A and B are shown apart, each in its own frame.
Chain A
């Protein structure tokens, strides 16, 4: 299996191109490898195609085709994926509550770069 602790691969799932790119740029600047998906289905496909498991998934909630929630449900059903930590990044006004089913880890948009780097660092040491 491809899960390897310490691997510096981050999966970004967001339907907004600007955010995907900005997050990707910042993380790459810090030396991370980045996997990018535009929705939940895309994310599942990328995960399954990838030979390596990311150390963290930064997940948007409101997305076309497959929402963050649906994605999370699928991920939890897949034993090979269920151990990858998920942090929700959303602009939802009620994020604290919405993030509960995902283990309660979230970052509210707009999000500070430092906050993103912190959470990524904690999971991808």
Chain B
């Protein structure tokens, strides 16, 4: 076949056909080609084929053509390629070119180029791409509009661009504190093999000018790589090949001053440079930068708002807390999760030890670990470690990044490390808690996992929180001091109760010192002056072994009364002594030798307070309080309480002393009375027996000379004196037995009238001698169960008083029954009893009259009262001074019934 045989077919084909010969000259064009290229067939035939191409394409074509002619190898033969063509009018049109060789018999090869007009399609495509880009831009905008944090926005942006423009992998690089670009976000389409791309871009950072991101950073311009495999500045080539990535472009994201960022996208095929996309990307980069700034600003605003709200919440919560620990607990609970993921508060307790008050974690699953952490790892008491540094310096610490190495360094042991890792810490702030310029603790705030690291703003917030907490702590301390005052008051009242509960002062002091420990002291002792020496009457400590130890020291090194410090000094001066601290020099000074010093040091004394036990200007001893192992200290404000305690203790001792002296005196008197009565009675008995015997002999005597009458009269007189003496002795005996509680009644059926007559007959002589007319009104039928002798004595004493104070005046004796009672009274018309004396005259040794005028022991009425009360009755006197007196005794008829318990 000849070429001309094909022409009719070629002529009718819709595609433009250009045939060229081996010299690369046009041999034939069909009608469609004429229309497409604007050349006539005659004009084109014989012209070089390159005249149908834009200038820039010609070297490429020539190179390929010659290679094909000489070697037969071809890149494009048989494969449609998209190339530009040059029309006669100079316009370039996009065509799809397919080359195919046509071998004719014996002839050289003809190349048929089929040109398909792509102008419509290109337009469509252009429009499509433009739409895609627009869609991508919209998507990016939507992402930024919806995002509240930069990281989410960036991830969304990578995805929006990647999906819309069909670049299935994107990375975002930001300038890190290291001064290099580090990847902060990435996205890849699920169409990519994740395993293959895993290594790509991992663990790499770029300096300015280095690699694709560095190149963009350096130039500030978007960059394009047609094929990564052929790029000379692409350090990730190896992993890119593994990930089967070829085409790439990247653009700068400029977020104001805050720094440089670069977005880059990759494609599995090599990509011709797309200037339009590059220009779009450049614009997009600026927009994204603005968005990022806006989000950051918004975030900052929001954080500021959160902070403000948080601080407001904190202030109101802290304002209402009243105790120290609750306050700190609230601080921690407020901080989590708004400020930190977890929080611990370490504070000095009342004993001066560091204690972890609270651990709060936002993650409820970590609560267990938090509790374990709090319980198993109390803060070091050796005052080492970071929290103590913060405590000591009162300066906050911000540790933006906390690495696992840091955790290892901080952990006390494996378990501690495991807990720290479990609780998690990637960023940390420690702020001191200071109240009135004094450090009281440390707040630690931790963030972990995906949380944003702390920054300066967080530190400021933490400091503000700490400041507010400090105010609250100050308040709660005020409350505590109020509480302490209340506690002090309670202690004083308890102490007073103890002091007054016993009149044995040694026992009192033992109770007192025990009461002070451990609330007000670790040690408490009382020293009392006895003669020229000092005696420790009590020492208290919670540990008996320690008391023993202290006693041993005292035994070996007794305190000298002349000591210039401590109890002897306080006793000498009457002034309290306060040692807020006990420095070692003080021990050296106060001890006598090396051994003494060693023992004293072993006691670990920290602070001491000695107050005098003074009353009425006399110092009888000293009370010493010591803080030792609890590490607490006395302050001047503790003095008033302890001085008051000392005063009360001294008063109690004085009272006890007075009481025991009085008791002793009473006891001595009773003993004396008892012995005296016994001793008096013995000779009385002899006298009485002899007098009575003589009287009997006289009566029996048959002879009655006048002398006998004289003798009998004298002996009667002796008998009367004897009776009086005898009654005095009996009174004394009654007093001593009654005051010793030994009064015993002999109750029997007694006719009151019998007793009255008996007594009156006994007094008959005395009454007439004293010139007292007696009138008697007696209800004769009164009987009761009484002690006859005591009843006798009651009436006798009444009558004896009447005779004594109203001689020469009439006396009325009445006895009547009043219901279940007998009422007996003796009325005289003597000097009477004043209102002020009416109660008193029934007391022991009480006398309403001056002893220089009236004798007597002052026991008569007291004995009446004791006897009457012993029989369940009462006594009273009705009288006005100068108008006589009526003494009345009321006795129940059945005293046993009246006395027996109901």
Please measure, in the bound complex, the distance between the C-alpha atom of A96 and the C-alpha atom of B747, giving whole angstroms.
13
- Report if A94-B737 is in contact (Cβ < 8 Å); known contacts: A22-B685, A29-B697, A110-B681: yes
**Contact assessment for B683 and A18 in the assembled complex, using a CB-CB cutoff below 8 Å:** yes
A16-B682, A22-B693 known; A93-B733 Cβ under 8 A: yes
Interface assignment of B666: CB less than 8 Å from any CB of chain A: no
| Interchain nearest-CB distance for A92 vs B (Å) | 7
A16 engages B674 (CB within 8 Å): no
B684 to chain A: closest residue by CB = A110
* B677 pairs with A93, CB closer than 8 A: yes
| B821 part of interface (Cβ distance < 8 Å) | no
How many Å lie between the Cα of A94 and that of B738 in the bound state?
11
Distance of A19 Cα from B683 Cα, bound (Å) = 8
* Residues on the B chain within 8 Å of A111, using CB: 685, 688-689
Q: What is the distance, in angstroms, from A29's C-beta to the closest C-beta of chain B?
A: 6
B678 at the A interface (CB under 8 A): yes
A19 touches B685 (CB 8 A): yes
A121 at the interface (CB under 8 A from B): no
CB-contact partner of A26 in B683, B687, B689, B742, under 8 A? B689
CB <8 Å contact, B685 and A29: no
By a CB distance below 8 angstroms, the chain A residues around B682 are 16, 18-19, 91, 109
CB within 8 Å of B: which of A10-60?
A: 16, 18-19, 21-23, 25-26, 29
- A114 CB to nearest B CB, Å: 8
- In the assembled complex, B690 has its CB within 8 A of some CB on chain A: yes
Q: How far is the CB of B730 from the nearest CB of chain A, in Å?
A: 9
The answer to the question of B56 belonging to the interface, with a C-beta cut-off of 8 Å to chain A, is no
A113 touches B693 (CB 8 A): yes
A interface SS class: helix
| A92 CB contacts on chain B under 8 angstroms | 678
Instruction: Please measure, in the bound complex, the distance between the C-alpha atom of A105 and the C-alpha atom of B399, giving whole angstroms.
Output: 105
Contact of B686 with A19 in the complex, beta carbons under 8 Å:
yes
Task: Tell me whether A77 is interfacial, beta carbon within 8 Å.
Answer: no
Residues of A bordering B, CB below 8 Å: 16, 18-19, 21-23, 25-26, 29, 62, 91-94, 96-97, 109-114, 116
Contact B686 A18 (CB under 8 A): yes
A119: min CB distance to chain B, Å: 14
Determine the residue in chain A with the shortest Cβ distance to B742. A94
* A91 pairs with B692, CB closer than 8 A: no
Cross-chain pairs A/B with CB under 8 angstroms, 22 sampled: A16-B682, A18-B683, A18-B690, A19-B682, A19-B685, A21-B686, A22-B685, A22-B693, A26-B693, A62-B678, A91-B678, A91-B681, A93-B674, A93-B677, A94-B737, A96-B744, A96-B746, A97-B744, A109-B684, A109-B685, A111-B688, A112-B692
Give the distance in Å from the alpha carbon of A114 to the alpha carbon of B682 in the complex: 18
Complex: chain B residue closest to A17, CB-CB: B686
Bound Cα distance A94, B683 (Å)? 18
Instruction: Across the A-B interface, give the 5 residue pairs with the lowest CB-CB distance, nearest first.
Output: A18-B686, A22-B689, A91-B681, A113-B692, A109-B685
Residue of B nearest to A116 (CB): B689
- One digit per residue, 1 when the CB lies within 8 angstroms of any chain A CB and 0 when it does not, for chain B 673-710 equals 01001110111111111101100110000000000000
Is B726 located at the chain interface by the 8 A CB criterion?
yes
How far is A16 from B688 in the complex, measured between Cα atoms in Å? Answer: 14
The reply on B736 being an interface residue by CB < 8 A is yes
Of A19, A92, A114, most buried by chain B (CB within 10 Å of CB) is: A19
Chain A minimum-CB-distance residue to B688: A110
**Contact among B679, B688, B733, B746 for A112, CB-based, below 8 A:** B688
CA distance A21 to B685 in the complex (A): 11
Chain A hits for B696, CB < 8 A: 26, 29, 113
Chain B residues with CB under 8 Å of A114's CB are 692
A109–B693 touching, CB < 8 Å = no
Cβ of A29: which chain B residues have Cβ within 8 Å of it? Answer: 693, 696-697
Known contacts A91-B677, A94-B737, A96-B746; A25 and B693 CB within 8 A of each other: yes
